Amino acid sequence: MSAVRIKICGITRIEDALAAVAAGADAIGFVFYAKSPRAVTPAQARSIIAALPPFVTTVGLFVDMPRAELRQLLGEVPLDLLQFHGDESAEDCAGFGRPYIKALRVKPGDDIAAAVSRYPEASGLLLDTYVPGVPGGTGEAFDWSLVPQDAAKPLILAGGLTPDNVGEAVRQVRPYAVDVSGGVEAAKGIKDAAKIQAFIQRARS
Ligand SMILES: O=C(O)c1ccccc1NCC(=O)[C@H](O)[C@H](O)COP(=O)(O)O
């Protein structure tokens, strides 16, 4: 089995992006959702991306953003992959000339395999925790036993991961990738380089 991929999400500063890359992250995520404490402007994201070395995947997170607004943003920011974190349908996620992943907010009793099948064009599905009224970045984990072992798409495990639980999460779920935001922060939107290093080392050990 290949090494688990790692995305560090909610990046707002160049130094945090570089710390993530130096620690071995495969991808970094930018939150384009104004209500988030981790929100960035297109100009901020562009200047962080300009500081990156090659071969780092840049991911933009959106929550039910109007299509015209998203198209304009994609003309301003060189994003490799789109992450839809709201109530977008498969049709809403398509047609932007970029691969996408869809976040599914998981709650007890959910049939994740059935939800995956609703997004046949997605590159993968990100599994996050359902918290009423909060679209993402909740810092809470869901019941990992709900994750199917034979999903039709690569699954990215998210929600409440930390340096302390990511090793067990990878052992139990065997996801394609893991995604973390709050678990590697010193404060909301401010990453902690030592926590990023510990997270990546434990995810891959
Ligand atoms: O981070 C936010 O504030 C946020 C707001 C709206 C939609 C998504 C958001 N974040 C998504 C992520 O950072 C991750 O994909 C995921 O939810 C993991 O977050 P965490 O539980 O903090 O590790």
For the stretch 168-188, pLDDT in tens is 999 999 999 999 999 999 999
The pocket around ligand 1, CB under 6 angstroms, is made up of: 9-10, 31, 33, 36, 38, 61, 63, 85, 128, 135-139, 158-161, 179-183
**Fold entry, domain 5-204:** TIM Barrel (3.20.20)
Give the Cα separation of 11 and 44 in Å (integer).
10
Structural domain boundaries of the chain?
5-204
Atom from ligand 1 closest to the CA of residue 86: 7
Give the Cα separation of 160 and 139 in Å (integer).
4
For 61, how many CA atoms within 13 A lie in the half-sphere containing its CB?
A: 27
> What pLDDT does 28 receive?
98
Query: Ligand 1: which of 6, 31, 162, 188 to mutate, most ligand atoms within 8 Å of CB?
Result: 31
Q: Is the dihedral of CA 154, 158, 163, 167 positive or negative?
A: negative
Separation of CA 136 and ligand 1 centre (Å):
4
For the segment 109-119, the average pLDDT, to the nearest whole number, is 93
Instruction: Read off the tokens for 174.
Output: 């065997």
| 1 pLDDT tier (thresholds 50, 70, 90) | low
Helix (H), strand (E) counts: the chain: 7, 10
Separation of CA 85 and ligand 1 centre (Å):
9
| ipTM of the modeled complex | 0.96
Asked about 150 being catalytic, the answer comes back as no
For the segment 23-37, the average pLDDT, to the nearest whole number, is 97
- What's the predicted TM-score (pTM) here? 0.96
